[in-house]
Structure 1
Amino acid sequence: MQQLFELIFKNGLRPLSMFPDTSYLELQLTSSDFSALLLLKFHGQLTMSQMADYLGAPLSTVTSIAKRLVRKGYIYREKSQQDQRIIVNRLTEDGELIAEEALGTMNTMFSRIERALTAEELQQFIHLSLKVAKALQHNAEPEETSKSSKLRSIEIE
């Protein structure tokens, strides 16, 4: 299951939106907020750039998420001890509690998956989930494009 957690967090997936039993959690915060909290729980601390990379979102979007979480008292931001120009994000006590609750819910869901599948099926599930996540992460062009949607280059002198 550790592989599945890593798959989710390293590929910018929104973990709580995958499970139907988590809707009550998402009434408290957005799925992006929860993803940010779970990333911080998983990693301990992250810079804004790291969070943007993990969430697959622009820095401006992640900055808005972080500001919202600071206002709600779930994270705090401080200057890095190694480089004063860098801001790192960490969970507050309240942030830890809500991240733990979300993580507990995810663990319950993953336990259901483990009980439903054989060991071989579980490995296949993890392998296929990783493959799908990687495919969704890459902005591959569609194989067939219509003539009207093709881009053409124009030389400028």
Structure 2
Amino acid sequence: MQQLFELIFKNGLRPLSMFPDTTHLELQLTSSDFSALLLLKFYEQLTMSQMADHLGAPLSTVTSIAKRLVKKGYIYREKSLQDQRIIVNRLTEDGEQIAEEALSTMNTMFGRIELALTAEELQQFIHLSLKVAKALQQNLDPAGSSKSPTSRKIKIE
């Protein structure tokens, strides 16, 4: 199951949106907020750029998420002990409680998956989930080939 958690977090998936029993949690915060809280629970502390990488979102979006979570009292920001120019995000006690509740819900759901599958099927499920997540994150054109980002020239007068 640790592999499944890593799959979710490292591929920028929104874990709570996959489970039906999380409606009461999602009424409190957005799924992006919960993903950020769960990442902080998983990693204990993250810089803004690390959070952006894990969430698969631009730094400006993650900054908005972090500001919202600070305002609600779920995370706090402090200067890194190694480099005073770097700000790290950590969970507050309230943030820890919300993240723990979300994690508990996810563990319950993953437990249901474990009960439904054999050990071999579980390994196949994890492998296929990773493969599907990677395929969905690729930017493909209708013909099926990978698109690389293109730059446009804008005429400035």
- TM-aligned CA deviation for residue 140 of structure 1: 2.8
Q: Report the structure number with the largest CA radius of gyration.
A: 1
Task: Count residues with an aligned counterpart.
Answer: 148
Equivalent-residue separation in structure 1 for 2:132 and 2:2 (angstroms):
17
1:85 aligns to what SS in structure 2? Answer: coil
Corresponding residue of 1:74: 74
Structure 1 residue runs of 4+, over 2 Å off?
none
Within a 5 Å distance, the mapping from 1:72-111 to structure 2 comes to 72-111=72-111
Q: 2:113: which partner in 1?
A: 113
2:53 aligned residue: 53
Deviation at 1:101, TM superposition (A): 0.3
Give the aligned residue type for 2:109: M
- 2:138 is matched with 138
* Equivalent position of 1:64 in the other structure: 64
What is the deviation of 1:83?
1.0
RMSD (Å) for aligned C-alpha atoms: 1.7
Establish whether residue 24 from structure 1 lines up as the match of residue 24 from structure 2: yes
Q: Which whole-Å CA distance do the structure 2 matches of 1:137 and 1:144 have between them?
A: 13
Specify every segment of 5 or more residues in structure 2 that has no aligned partner in the other structure, as ranges: none
The percentage of counterpart residues that share the same residue type is 86
| 3-state SS in 1 of match to 2:88 | strand
In 2, distance between residues paired with 1:144 and 1:62? 30
2: distance between equivalents of 1:58 and 1:26?
Answer: 22
Query: Normalising to structure 1: TM-score of the pair?
Result: 0.90
**Distance (Å, rounded) in 2 between the aligned partners of 1:37 and 1:64:** 14
SS in 1 for 2:57: coil
Instruction: Tell me the alpha carbon deviations over residues 83-127 of structure 1, each in whole angstroms, 9 at most, x when there is no partner.
Output: 111110000000000000000000000000000111111111000
Deviations 1:45-99 (A, max 9, x none): 0000000000000000000000000000000001111111111000000000000
